[in-house]
Amino acid sequence: MHRIDDHDDIRAGLRALKKADPRLASVIEVAGEVPLRRGEGGYRGIADIVVSQQLSKAAAESIWTRFAKAVDPVCPDGVLAASEDSLRGCGLSRGKIRTLQKLAEACHGGFDFEVLPDLPAEEAIAAMTALHGVGPWTAEVYLLFCCGHADIFPAGDVALQNAVGDAFDLAERPAEKPLRDIAAAWSPWRGVAARLFWRYYAVTRRDATPASA
């Protein structure tokens, strides 16, 4: 199973993608350097993703900074010990607070984030989406950036949908299912393809880059 652990892996993936789908040559040229974007795993990593959901990058960073000060260190015990008022004061919604608490409880109940990098992508996604508040996008982004899974493409991500639609000059933005069908051709390097298209989106739509991009 491929892993994306360093920039050599990104370059290897891009070479394979260009060979598998010649349309990507121009996307690679426009995107320029594709960032690695590996983050910390475990509870802190999933908490960062939950906090950032459906927010601009600036708003997510602001809330995370306040959250990390209120819960120091960011860990299951810290979150469970924090009052709801203090978490609300960080700018977190009640839904996100509930998810963070439930994830902390899952860790105490035996859920082990450390095993996820070694599981097949589909099995790892299934394990994560069984947790309260964790949907496919959250699971896929965690596995991409915190575990280095190489063959995951979060087709429900609006930035990726827009980027692929723009790059391939599609009549309309592809929905999740059609985009998954398109991305199937990029296996086993769909994780590099996702990074490539997020970078392409950032370069071509600089004024509209979301937290996920």
Q: What is the pLDDT of residue 115?
A: 94
CATH of 42-145, one of 3.40.50.10490, 3.90.226.10, 1.10.340.30, 3.40.228.10: 1.10.340.30
In three-state form (DSSP H/G/I as H, E/B as E, the rest C), the secondary structure along the chain is: CCECCCHHHHHHHHHHHHHHCCCHHHHHHHHCCCCCCCCCCHHHHHHHHHHHCCCCHHHHHHHHHHHHHHCCCCCHHHHHHCCHHHHHCCCCCHHHHHHHHHHHHHHHCCCCHHHHHHCCHHHHHHHHHCCCCCCHHHHHHHHHHCCCECCCCCCCCHHHHHHHHHHCCCCCCCCHHHHHHHHHHHCCCHHHHHHHHHHHHHHHCHHHCCCCC
Parts of the chain belonging to CATH 1.10.1670.40:
7-37+151-208
Evaluate if residue 212 carries a pLDDT over 50.
no
For the stretch 67-78, pLDDT in tens is: 999 999 999 999
pLDDT of residue 213: 41
Q: Delimit the CATH 1.10.340.30 region(s) of the chain.
A: 42-145
Q: Does domain 7-37+151-208 have CATH number 1.20.1050.140?
A: no
Share of the chain above pLDDT 90, in %: 92
